[in-house]
Amino acid sequence: MKHIAVVGVGYVGLVSAAGFADLGNRVIALDINEERINGLKKGIMPIYEPGLEEMVERNVASERLSFTTSYAEAIMGADFVFIAVGTPSGVDGEADLKYVKSAAESVAQVMDAPLIIVNKSTVPVGTGDWVAEIIRNSQPKPIPFSVVSCPEFLREGSAILDFMNPARTVLGSQDYEAADKVAQLHLPLRAPIMITNLRTAEMVKYASNAFLATRISFINEIANICEALGADVKEVSTGMGYDARIGPYFLDAGLGYGGSCFPKDVKALAHMADEKGRHPQILQAVMDINDDRRRLLVEKIREGVGDFEGKVIGILGLTFKPNTDDLRDAPALDIAKRLLEGGAKVSAYDPVGMPGAAKLMPEIDMVEDPYALAEASDALVICTEWNEFKQLDLQRIKDLLRNPIIIDGRNIYEPHEMAQLGFTYLAVGRGYHGGKPING
């Protein structure tokens, strides 16, 4: 059993704190946001993540997990400090490290015994050395410490599952012993553990996210070509996925990627490359293709409804992906903005994202369910593939809609079924449909 402090109770920090507590460690999670900490002390979660509330509750009850805003309290007696604060995109895509700097300085000022500082946040290659420098310069008196990079690979909406079942744990440090101690923490997860140097571990994170984003922009480019040639990209990706070298995952064409990671991490890696005079040709294309997904879908909506003026467009799904409340860089909000600028009115329904979206875009009219949305709209646009949209009573939706038009930004329906129901159905890369789909 180790004493772990976690700085930052966001999607990454809070899940990591609850996870390490669940493995039997004593964890104190810290945040500078007093409201978040006070809420957590009352059992109120600052984020929506399946399974998180129950895991936090269980570990608080067993006194393995507690919360504070005091660095002195969090660091006292700690063996490890995990830094999991935000690393948002700054100017021209460079990661903004002000929060990491502030956390490192605060740790350095209160630490009174040797410590292992673990960078959990996604940080540019070389940040580990920079954090060590900050700590050395901020300590009132020299106390031994080591810095270890331990990048997170958590997907929002399945972060608990991903924490407990990692594909791998990647560790990087100039101090092998320190990395090995962090490796011990991860042994109960029974996944491969790789120990390398700081910069390589930091790069594994960026290269992994950039590759996943590349797959998405790749299949979206294929969708554009399928549309022109009359092929169905959903079946193309099924056919591709049988090849073990390709695999079936991350080949869903649609609105492209959003969220707080892919957009930020691809930009940051491209920025690092440009800084070193290595022009990131593929990464630039990945970003350009992804940015264009939103424009293309708005064009498809115009194809369906004609002039936007005076039309009510109903958006199904606001969060950047299902099973999360995260609206950061959510394509749906970008599309809503473009529709409003085009003269349309926008209504929307999302299972968990509406309170947050209403604060960001009060001009969107939020309604209580998909059928109420259909009743209020001239057309429906699917932006997030929540499971509850996949088995809607489409006959009822058709009867409620002023016009039977659905624009499907996530390809959750089948063109031939929609045609039989009498919908004008516009999706992504679903070329002409002569026959029934081949079930994969």
State the residues that interact with ligand UDX by CB under 6 A: 7-13, 31-33, 36, 84-87, 99, 102-103, 121-122, 152-156, 209, 212, 216, 250-252, 254, 256-262, 320-321
Minimum Å gap between C-beta 401 and ligand UDX is 25
Would you say 118 or 401 has its CB closer to ligand UDX? 118
Could you give the count of Cα atoms lying within 13 Å of 346 in the half-sphere of its Cβ?
28
Chain residue whose CB lies nearest ligand UDX: 10
Question: Counting every residue, how long is the chain?
Answer: 440
Minimum Å gap between C-beta 385 and ligand UDX is 8
Minimum Å gap between C-beta 79 and ligand UDX is 20
How far CA 384 is from CA of 163, 175, 333, 364, 389, in Å, comes to: 24, 44, 11, 16, 9
Would you say 82 or 308 has its CB closer to ligand UDX? 82
Q: Is 383 a catalytic residue?
A: no
Would you say 266 or 379 has its CB closer to ligand UDX? 266
Would you say 58 or 155 has its CB closer to ligand UDX? 155
Where does 24-170 have alpha helices with state H? 34-41, 52-61, 71-75, 98-110, 127-138, 159-164
* Pairwise CA distance, residues 301 & 6, whole Å: 45
Which one is catalytic: 150, 226, 261, 383? 261
Minimum Å gap between C-beta 203 and ligand UDX is 14
Q: Which long-range contacts (CB under 8 A, 24 or more apart) does 355-363 make?
A: 356/325, 356/327, 357/318, 357/327, 357/330, 357/333, 360/327, 360/333, 361/333, 361/336, 361/337
Q: How open is the CA angle 294-326-6, to the nearest 5 degrees?
A: 140
Minimum Å gap between C-beta 433 and ligand UDX is 21
* Pairwise CA distance, residues 416 & 432, whole Å: 9
Would you say 119 or 347 has its CB closer to ligand UDX? 119
Return the residue matching tokens 């079942």.
Answer: 165
287: enclosing H helix or E strand: helix 281-305
Write out the catalytic residue numbers: 261
